[in-house]
Every structure is written in C-alpha cells, then in structure tokens.
Copies of this chain bind each other. A is one copy, B any other.
Amino acid sequence: MFVRASRRPIPRDASQYEAIHQANLHYVECFRRNVGLMRCHFRLKDEDELIAEVGRSADNAMVERVLARLRREGQLGLWDAEKLKLTIFCLIGMVDELLLKIYGQTQPSLAAFQARPQLVASTVSDMWFSTIYGSQSIEGIAPAANLPGLRRVD
C-alpha cells in the first residue's frame, strides 16, 4: 500500500524500539492524513473481495517482515511459531482498530486523541516492543536514552 511506499527507509542501525516506533508513527500520520481513504478501505473490505485481499496481503506481508527481522536477530527460536503468528496478527489488528476508533471517529470517547499522534504512536510502539522483545533485558536491547518509559508519556 501507499503507506510503506511513502516512508523514509528506517536506518539499519536503528534500535529495535526506534524501528518499531518510526514505522508506527509513519502509519499513524498516514492514517490521520488519509482518514477518508483508510475508513473507506476498512469498511469496504467487508463488502468487496478485491479490497479485502489488499488488506490480507498487507497483513501477511507485515507478518513476514516481522518474522524476517526476528530471524536476523536470532530471536525466532525463543517463540512457538504458531503463537508468534497469532501474536503478530494481534499487534497488527490492534493498531488498525485503534486508529479507526480515533481518526475514523467510531469511538467518540477517543476523539481527544486525534491531535496526539505522538502519544498514539508511542502507546502502540510500547506494546509492540514489550510484546515482541519483552522477555529480554530492556537495557540490553535499546540504550536507555532512546527508550521512553513504557508507561510514561514521551
């Protein structure tokens, strides 16, 4: 989709948290700036098989990218393969649903977050990071200077 094509490449030496956060922040900004298109996509995928296939392909490609990264990092063996697949789908769906509720305005109690893309992105990034890398020593993965507190607003 246009989301990936419009993103600056993430530097190879970015920390795991930074890589996750840059990707999420870009997705939040894309969603925010193209909310009509995104809302349309997520509605029409229930009705149109071609649009549904675009979404499924994007999800599957994202799963493959995460698996490739974990393989490169020697992390794949820590996981049960089936549980990891379900977990990545959880993370993907969670971001889509949250952004639909906030920017697609399907949940008015979240409307105030529309103007807080940094907070939205850091919240989902913290969840991605702690879910994927949570059992490691956090200090060992990302320098403290780059890692916002997992429960604080950055």
Identify the A interface with B (CB < 8 A).
43, 45-46, 52, 56, 59-60, 78-80, 82-87, 89-91, 93-98, 101, 106-110, 113, 116, 119-120, 122-124, 127, 130-131, 134-135, 150-153
Contacts and interface: CB of A to CB of B under 8 A. Distances in A.
Given A43-B46, A131-B127, A89 B83 contact: no
A87 B124 CA distance: 8
A146 B18 CA distance: 34
5 contacts: A82-B113, A82-B116, A82-B153, A83-B119, A130-B134
A2 to B, nearest CB: 21
Nearest to A122: B83
